[in-house]
Structure 1
């Protein structure tokens, strides 16, 4: 089996070496389609052994990518942009392709992780970046192009196996502005050709939202709704992104709750497995301190996520899972449901024991449960609970609990923690800043 790596580029000298490096020893050929570089992109690509072809830019990403496909001789194609790359996961690509073929899948979807300037992950989504060659699979639309096939194809879910890193969000502000203006022109051309294409209105809305012109963005998202396919689907795709972004805009204004819920009902009806919609509505109620309703929607969101997963949907929940659990726990506490708050806080601390906010919620919720007379909740029982979550022979763990408890005024617990310290440890934690 041969794997081709393909990409289209223009002035990518800062990215091209990394973009070609991950495929060495894995791919049989590297196809680079240059659309008019004026820097050293072509020179670097050729020096690394890539086959470089030139394509006259005609304001059509699909045309350029389909030209690249024509040049690929491999059985499968890995089509990543110059600012996207695999790391250690690259070694799993060939075995993943074999799994996909055994299941009769011609397209493989991986997890795409967006990185900021500091290399921190700021978002994730599902993207199809590998597909079988010579099967009529090609790109469509001049911008925000996507893979299409004349016959139905099965997609293999490799989001747990393959992760692609994307650094495009770390571009300079000027670079982002230039891209946005260029994409605006292409989207407007696409809308002229396809005036009832809901996806294009959604993509154009994203640009205006990114420029903080939320009035124009909302107008475009509502136009997208007008032309949107109303059929029920388990895959969100562009429809999900459009609805998600419209909910975010509406959710920023408390007096628009009715409009928010109207769009939410529509979104939930056509994309019932997407957990993002409930999470965004929950954020709206949480922001305006309606904690009881926030808890209901956060719980529904997490239940959907746990039941249906994040493959081709629920990108927001998937990349904010700890934050959503933390908000749910606090929403339970603030709406006087301390037992439920404790359950969620314990779940978070079981995997992230130094989560300060979750420990705060846990300690205060136990106090509240004790006041309500809930059996089994007292400071001694609280200590036993903490013993299950922390190593109380560790000074670091004892200090973390002690400082948090003292800052919150949970004096009894801080005294219990201190009583389990040696004299030297007690002296150290007493000096810690609360």
Structure 2
């Protein structure tokens, strides 16, 4: 205990061999004691725990997480206790632990970040996981168990602080749910609790979360709305219930009927960036693009629910729908610079067709080294026009250096594009022949300006033809629907 304080990490586990190591790696620098309570593993979970010198204890599972947690706590001997699940790991700000334990708080909220199903949205929850040992604090709740109530009851409402520590939770990722059949287990426990207390808002919140994982968005929205009717607004999970209800409403395409839900959310937390973002998505889905843009500008653009790349694509789409071509171009460019996005590339081509100055160069530099990857992605979904234009724009940027890979891709497009008009195939074939001739010439003189000029003109002519033949393009899915 040379650091002046000690920490016990407490976990309850069952069949966690695939993720326990990552969890323990994330805390081993801070842990003076690791207590792992196994509730019936049939894999190598216990062996993995022993590799980290964990103290192994066993508990007969009773469909009650609080009981298992409290059983684990009794083995802790350190000054402080940190509670984690095996499918979690410390992911940020753990270096603040020495400062936190030096303060007078009895416990701290940690920020738990969880992916919601197969979507791109991540949910945040603030849960007390770090607290002083030896005070008699106990978890309560058969599922999604909490210890905050016990601390507040014994030490007062101001006994808990916010740590800023981030914990990433894998448990709601699709493969985790499938592996551990969490949905079935959790739903059974929650429903048994609701059978006894049908208006228990925390259990309703928990059930709504499980229903979202099952993609039962309509039922999830109903359950979460019921929870909101019984909530005062002072609950620690009030914001999460509102956010989940908004998400479920959007996924259920119930955003027209649920006007009251969005109005209430904005009235309750008018400056909340995540609520403004979701409300903006609703307005976009309704076709109110200007209003959607206003909501994003008011703070929705700062949401943490989706990555910046997707935010830029959404804002770009809003500008595009309002025919603000240059503004749209810049946002799609930022989206592409953050990572490959066929959606943003196609939209940039659409802007290019409008005759906007600098659009070709913007597209070329935005796709950068991802040009071939994006073109192949377009080919796989049969979007041969997009594939060709992406490559031609990129080839214009570095013609004479990597044109050979463009030629190979063009030939691939010709072979696969069964529905492509014969005249286009013929034109593409001529371009490939021109490139082959230039390849031979450049093999002798890589700096041959005549050949490079010839190639540039060929590429420019080809790009012009493709843009002329470009069909009215329909992007398969609205970008705001990609968020959920």
TM-score w.r.t. the length of structure 2 is: 0.65
Shifted more, 275-284 versus 138-147: the winner is 275-284
**1:203 — aligned with what?**
206
Q: Helix, strand or coil: the match of 2:257?
A: helix
**1:171 — aligned with what?**
176
Quote the offset at 1:28 in angstroms.
Answer: 1.0
- Rounded to whole Å, the distance in 1 between the matches of 2:77 and 2:201 is 35
Distance 1:415 1:207, change over 3 A: closer
Q: Is the 8 A contact 1:18 1:85 kept in 2?
A: yes
Aligned equivalent of 1:79, options 79, 83, 98? 83
Task: Please tell me whether residue 265 in structure 1 is matched to residue 257 in structure 2.
Answer: no
Q: Is the 8 A contact 2:375 2:388 kept in 1?
A: no
Task: Please tell me whether residue 331 in structure 1 is matched to residue 318 in structure 2.
Answer: yes
Distance 1:388 1:302, change over 3 A: farther
Quote the offset at 1:267 in angstroms.
Answer: 1.6
Distance 1:273 1:425, change over 3 A: same
C-alpha RMSD over aligned residues = 4.3
- Rounded to whole Å, the distance in 1 between the matches of 2:69 and 2:88 is 15
Task: Please tell me whether residue 10 in structure 1 is matched to residue 17 in structure 2.
Answer: no
Task: Please tell me whether residue 52 in structure 1 is matched to residue 56 in structure 2.
Answer: yes
**1:322 — aligned with what?**
309
TM-score w.r.t. the length of structure 1 is: 0.72
**1:374 — aligned with what?**
none
Quote the offset at 1:250 in angstroms.
Answer: 3.0
Larger radius of gyration: 2
**2:463 — aligned with what?**
none
**1:112 — aligned with what?**
113
What is the total number of aligned residue pairs between the two structures? Answer: 391
Q: How does 1:24-423 map to 2 (within 5 A)?
A: 24-37=28-41, 41-42=45-46, 45-46=49-50, 48-86=52-90, 93=94, 95-101=95-101, 106-107=107-108, 109-110=110-111, 112=113, 114=115, 123=122, 125-128=124-127, 130-134=129-133, 138-148=138-148, 149-150=151-152, 151=156, 152=158, 153-159=160-166, 163-164=167-168, 166-167=170-171, 169=173, 170-171=175-176, 173=178, 175-176=180-181, 179-230=182-233, 238-252=237-251, 256-287=254-285, 290-300=288-298, 302-303=300-301, 305=303, 310=304, 317=305, 319-352=306-339, 354-365=340-351, 368=354, 378-379=357-358, 382=359, 396=369, 407=385, 421=398, 423=400
Q: Is the 8 A contact 1:2 1:28 kept in 2?
A: yes
Q: Helix, strand or coil: the match of 1:142?
A: coil
> Any unmatched runs of 5+ in structure 1?
311-316, 371-376
User: What are the superposed Cα offsets for residues 369-422 of structure 1, whole Å, 9 maximum, x if unpaired?
Assistant: x6xxxxxx624xx4676798687xxxx488899999x946999x9989766655
Distance 1:104 1:330, change over 3 A: farther
